[in-house]
Every structure is written in structure tokens, then in C-alpha cells.
């Protein structure tokens, strides 16, 4: 067992006494049940309102296992060594956009949870600080996190207590899976690209974007990646050679990531009326699909998501081609039987946002906050460049969202 830190917490439930808090590395056999209980308790919503429950498929570390360098930390409290907090972290190397040179090493912080009975004891701050220490040991230059823009407790913790700054705001777009297939125009051809060709296309298209991962090859070869697909006008096919590594003038491209192998979601606590409306709309949609009713998926049992990443379009037909690709992904999810929605996350200035079908009421703004961990550097010019990137507006309209982050 590796002990990361030992600290003293000032108070518990108003009683003035010294309370021992230990932050250490997660041990699966010893900590699995306790961490799952924290996850369950942190999902409890307000009485009378629906709650979205996350099932990590019995593996509290599953969300970071797909990164070559990752860690899970837990916080123990008191003499009983009760586990009262958890946080995950990973390291990756990404681009900084057109104004940046080369790559930058980032630490991504996610999955911070503190037991509701042990809040306001700075346990969350301790977990963040110790994870940052691990990042520094791995020569990370920046750490960052993402949260719902309206999640004030999370935003305040990172910006006010941990010295993070608000960095980028992205759009999280949600499209529920309907009971029927979506049609794809007969003039559109959809091709599945081999991984080596998909990697080549992505490196061409996203090299000047922000957060494009250096190890894109590992992402594309992952068992969770269901494939990379390109939509082109059918009349282009006879004139275009895939092996020539030259992109057609009109195309759209995306990849599909199967998150249901990592976690599943379930909605609980809805009223009987809401339940009846949702299930009724789906039944009617299945019986008479030509009406194209806005049916709602069965979210009252556990369901998975398909995350769409690497979305890009070019040419005068790019928008319609992207819509065809999203319809194709929808049909993949519909045939899956366990997929409840498609999810895509894109920058606010990315033109592709207008072509992604989504329900506005279920979509939201995702806030990314960042912190410079490299206080002392040998090269003052590089230090200035990193600081400028942190404080400046994005030099690119495109932000690549790593599906492993989701």
C-alpha cells in the first residue's frame, strides 16, 4: 500500500477534535465496495425530483484505465479508516492550437466524490492537492478538469480553493435514440475507414486544434472505438482513391466510442405521469415510425451512450453529410438495444455544432478549468508561451474532445 499523505482535519460535525485524514492510492480488493458506496450516495438527488444514477460496471477505476498513465486516490477518515472521498487522474500529451508549438503534457482530474456526511472538511481540496503532486511527479505542465457550468460547488472548489481558472466552455449535445431508424439520403455513401487511414486523416485535420492527443492511434485501436466513418457524395467515389491519402473536397468524418462498456446510466424518481408519457411515446413511435414522433428512450432501466468524437466536415455539402453520419450513428445505437443516446462535445465556435442533431433541453454547457503546475522552467520563453495559452482565447475554433475523458 502506498500512502500519499497524512493530514489533520480541524472539526467533524461541530465537534472540536483532531481527526486523521489519509489520502492514499486506491486498492481494488480493499476499497472497491466502499468507493462504490460513495458513488451511490453522491448520486442521491433532491426529494421528488428525477435522479441520474451512474453504474461504473463494478470497477471504480474504469474511467481512467484506458490512459497509459493513470491513478485513483481515496481519502480515509478517522481511526476507523472510513473511506470518505475518491478522485481519479490521468496524464496525456495534446496540442495547444495554431498559436502553440508542439505538444503540452496535461493532467486530467475527474470523478471527484466526497461523502455527503463528510463535506466542508477540506477533503476534496486534499484529494485535488495530492493528485496534483502525482501530476508534478509525472512532469505534467498543466492540470485541468471539466464540470457542468452550473455546478457551483465544483467550480468554486477548483477556482477559489485550488487556484484554477476558467479556460474553455464547450457545448455538450445530447440526442436520444428513437425507436425507428433514421433515413440516409441515397446520394450519400458512408465508408468505414481503416484505423491507419483514420489516424492519418485526423492528424491532418486536427493538428492545429486544441487538445488533440498525441496517442490518437491508441484511441482508434481501442476495443471501445466502434469505428471511424466518412460520408462523401456517392458520385465522388469513382474519382477518389482512399490510398492516395488525399481528402475529397466534400466530406464529413466522425468516430463512435462505446461508453456503455465503461459505465451505464439510469433515471430514477420520476412521477408515474412522466413515466407513462415517456413509455407511451416510444410505443407509438415504434408502431407508426413514419410520423417521426419525438419519442423518448427507455431511460428507466440501465442504458449506455455512444460518444461521437473527431467530428469534422468540409465543403459545401459538409453539413448535410455530417447529419447523415449522425443518422448512421443513431441507427448503430438503435440496433445495439442498450444505447439510450448519442453524445457529442464541441467548441462553441466549431462550425460542426450546427450540423449535430440534439435536444436543447437535454444539452448543456461544459466548463473546463485549468492550472499551471510548472512554476519554474529553464526556458523563460516557453514559460511565457504556456502562460499566454492559459490566459488567451482559443486560437482555433476546434477543440478535440478525447473520448476517454467522457
- Secondary structure, 3-state, 83-119: EEEEEEEEEEEEEECCCCCCEEEEEEEEEEEECHHHC
Kindly report the CATH class assigned to 174-362.
Answer: alpha beta
Cβ atoms 54, 43 nearer than 8 A: yes
- Cα distances from 325 to residues 226, 251, 255, 401, in angstroms, run 14, 10, 10, 18
Q: Compute CA 387 distance to the chain's CA centroid, rounded to the nearest angstrom.
A: 25
Give me the residue label for grid cell 461541530: 14
The CATH number assigned to the domain with range 3-169+368-405 reads: 3.40.630.30
C-alpha cell at 21: 485524514
Q: Compute CA 214 distance to the chain's CA centroid, rounded to the nearest angstrom.
A: 17
The rounded distance, in Å, linking the Cα atoms of 329 and 314 is: 19
φ, ψ for residue 142, nearest 5 deg: -135, 150
Q: What is the pLDDT of residue 12?
A: 43
Find, among 11, 129, 29, the residue nearest to 75 by Cα: 129
Write the CB contacts of 113 (distance below 8 Å, at least 6 apart in sequence).
38, 39, 42, 85, 86, 87
Give me the residue label for grid cell 416510444: 282
Three-state DSSP class for residue 245: coil
CA dihedral 6, 12, 17, 18 (to 10 degrees): 0
Sort residue 48 into left (φ over 0), alpha (ψ -120 to 50) or beta: left
* Planar angle of CA 157, 26, 126, nearest 5 degrees: 25
Q: What is the pLDDT of residue 296?
A: 74
pTM for the full predicted model: 0.87
For strands 103-114 and 82-96, give the pairing: antiparallel
Do the two domains 3-169+368-405 and 174-362 of this chain adopt the same fold? yes
Q: Kindly tell me the sign of the dihedral angle through the C-alpha atoms of 360, 146, 150, 111.
A: positive
- Going by the DSSP 8-state scheme, the letter that residue 353 receives in this structure is G
Find, among 406, 344, 404, 61, the residue nearest to 218 by Cα: 404
Three-state DSSP class for residue 291: helix
The rounded distance, in Å, linking the Cα atoms of 249 and 35 is: 50
Domain locations in the chain as residue ranges: 3-169+368-405, 174-362
Q: What is the pLDDT along the chain (406 residues), one digit of tens a residue?
A: 444 444 444 444 444 344 688 999 999 999 999 998 888 887 654 444 556 667 776 677 888 988 999 999 999 998 889 999 999 999 999 998 866 567 999 999 999 999 988 988 899 999 999 999 999 999 999 999 999 888 899 999 999 999 999 999 999 999 989 888 889 999 999 999 999 999 999 999 998 999 999 999 999 999 999 999 999 998 877 566 666 667 888 999 999 999 988 888 877 777 788 778 778 877 887 777 777 776 777 777 888 999 999 999 999 999 999 999 999 999 999 999 889 999 999 998 999 999 999 988 888 899 999 999 986 455 555 555 566 777 777 777 899 999 999 8
Q: What is the pLDDT of residue 359?
A: 87
- Cα distances from 198 to residues 68, 201, 203, 329, 342, in angstroms, run 21, 5, 9, 17, 21
Three-state DSSP class for residue 320: helix
Q: What is the pLDDT of residue 54?
A: 76
The rounded distance, in Å, linking the Cα atoms of 291 and 294 is: 9
Amino acid at each position: 500500500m502506498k500512502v500519499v499523505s497524512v493530514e489533520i482535519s480541524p472539526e467533524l460535525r461541530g465537534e472540536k477534535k483532531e481527526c486523521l485524514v489519509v489520502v492514499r492510492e486506491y486498492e481494488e480488493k480493499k476499497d472497491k465496495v466502499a468507493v462504490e458506496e460513495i458513488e451511490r450516495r453522491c448520486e442521491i438527488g433532491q426529494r421528488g425530483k428525477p435522479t441520474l444514477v451512474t453504474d461504473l460496471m463494478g470497477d471504480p477505476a474504469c474511467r481512467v484505465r484506458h490512459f497509459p498513465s493513470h491513478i485513483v486516490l481515496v481519502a480515509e477518515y478517522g481511526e476507523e479508516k472510513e473511506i470518505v472521498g475518491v478522485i481519479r487522474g490521468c496524464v496525456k500529451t495534446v496540442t495547444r492550437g495554431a498559436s502553440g508549438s508542439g505538444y503540452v503534457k496535461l493532467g486530467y482530474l475527474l470523478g471527484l466524490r466526497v461523502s455527503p456526511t463528510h463535506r466542508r472538511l477540506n477533503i476534496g481540496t486534499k484529494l485535488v492537492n495530492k493528485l496534483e503532486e502525482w501530476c508534478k511527479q509525472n512532469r505534467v505542465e498543466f492540470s485541468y478538469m471539466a464540470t457542468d457550468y452550473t455546478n457551483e460547488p465544483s467550480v468554486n472548489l477548483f477556482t477559489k480553493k485550488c487556484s484554477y481558472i476558467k479556460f474553455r466552455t464547450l457545448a455538450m449535445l445530447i440526442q436520444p435514440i428513437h425507436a425507428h431508424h433514421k433515413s440516409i439520403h441515397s446520394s450519400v455513401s458512408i465508408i468505414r475507414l481503416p484505423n491507419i487511414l483514420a489516424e492519418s486523416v485526423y492528424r491532418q485535420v486536427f493538428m492545429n486544434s486544441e487538445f488533440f492527443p498525441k496517442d490518437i492511434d491508441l484511441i482508434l485501436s481501442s476495443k471501445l472505438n466502434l469505428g471511424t466513418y466518412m460520408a462523401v457524395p456517392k458520385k465522388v467515389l469513382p474519382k477518389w482513391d482512399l490510398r492516395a491519402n488525399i481528402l475529397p473536397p466534400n466530406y464529413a468524418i466522425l468516430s463512435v466510442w462505446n461508453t456503455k462498456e465503461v459505465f451505464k446510466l439510469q433515471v430514477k424518481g420520476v412521477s408515474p405521469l412522466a413515466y407513462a408519457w415517456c413509455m407511451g411515446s416510444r410505443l407509438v413511435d415504434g408502431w407508426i415510425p413514419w410520423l417521426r414522433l419525438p419519442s423518448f428512450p427507455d431511460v428507466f432501466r440501465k442504458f449506455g451512450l455512444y460518444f461521437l468524437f473527431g467530428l469534422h466536415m468540409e465543403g459545401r455539402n459538409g453539413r448535410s453529410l455530417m447529419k447523415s453520419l449522425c443518422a448512421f450513428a443513431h441507427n448503430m445505437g438503435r440496433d445495439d438495444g442498450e444505447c439510450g443516446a448519442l453524445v457529442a462535445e464541441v467548441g462553441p465556435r466549431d462550425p460542426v455544432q450546427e450540423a449535430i442533431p440534439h435536444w436543447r433541453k437535454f444539452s448543456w454547457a461544459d466548463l473546463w478549468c485549468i492550472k499551471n503546475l510548472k512554476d519554474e522552467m529553464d526556458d523563460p520563453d516557453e514559460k511565457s508561451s504556456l502562460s499566454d495559452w492559459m490566459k488567451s482565447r482559443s486560437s482555433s475554433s476546434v477543440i478535440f474532445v478525447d473520448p476517454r475523458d467522457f
